[in-house]
Amino acid sequence: MSALPLERAGEESTVVGEARGEITRQRILDAAQRLFSEHGSNGVSLRTITAEAGANSAAANYHFGSKKGLLEAVFARHATGIAQEREAQLRDCRAEPGRPPLLEQIVRAFLEPGMRGQHGGKGFARFRGRMLAENTDQTRELYSRYFNDSTGQFLDALQAALPDLSPHDLYWRFHVMLGTMVYTLANPGRIQILSNGDCDSSDPGLALDTLVPIIAQLFRNPAIPPVGGSETLHNINSIEAK
């Protein structure tokens, strides 16, 4: 068998090297996501992550530059896909016969990409929950960079669907939706215990089908009077009594 020309042999060697490098990179990302989820970003060293991945620190430094760069790469690997899918689903939302109410469509378009598991599954969900619990400057920066644009589109869509709802109330209700999503993703098991297993937040489809109409109704509820003493409490009680 004749030998390969030197140029072709060099090209094939480069391709093989790049493939191996990408495999190593993915192993480091997988190990980092798992360890960051378990111990937090400050509770695990780069050396521990590379050892878990069966790699060396030089490989981690080559691919990510630093532990901070690695944390961002773990986040970006799936956050980008979630934001893009949210935007695509939002573009498909429209009020027409044969479709769910527009508000339910918008709420589902926001929740589904991050809860269904196409983008990192339960492992990435746990990672996101841990990052939010840590509430570091880097976490806030990453969430702003990767989600602010798509989230702004949803806030605009919700405001257009609910023109009588004040921006103040809209933001607070959106805040409740975010908290519900994060707690469901974290899946601490409390609802399973409290309901004696009747409610299972670990089932993404069931959780979505249950939460979408609840959150849509939250957005539809009457405006809440401004916070301020006993008069406000009286007004809130009056609304609840109707």
Question: In the chain, which ranges are continuous DSSP H helix?
Answer: 6-39, 46-53, 57-64, 67-91, 102-115, 121-134, 137-161, 167-186, 190-194, 204-220, 229-241
Mean pLDDT (whole number) for 85-111? 96
pLDDT category, 131, cuts 50, 70, 90?
Answer: confident
| 145-190 pLDDT tens trace | 999 999 999 999 999 999 999 999 999 999 999 999 988 887 888 9
Measured CA angle at 214 (ends 139, 115), to 5 deg: 40
CATH architecture of 7-65: Orthogonal Bundle (1.10)
Task: Report the candidate in 139, 171, 135, 133 with the shortest Cα–Cα distance to residue 155.
Answer: 171
pTM of the model: 0.81
pLDDT at 233: 47
Query: Is the per-residue pLDDT at 231 higher than 60?
Result: no
CATH match for 71-241 among 3.40.50.300, 3.30.300.180, 1.20.1250.20, 1.10.357.10: 1.10.357.10
Structural domain boundaries in the chain: 7-65, 71-241
Cβ–Cβ under 8 Å, residues 44 and 9: no
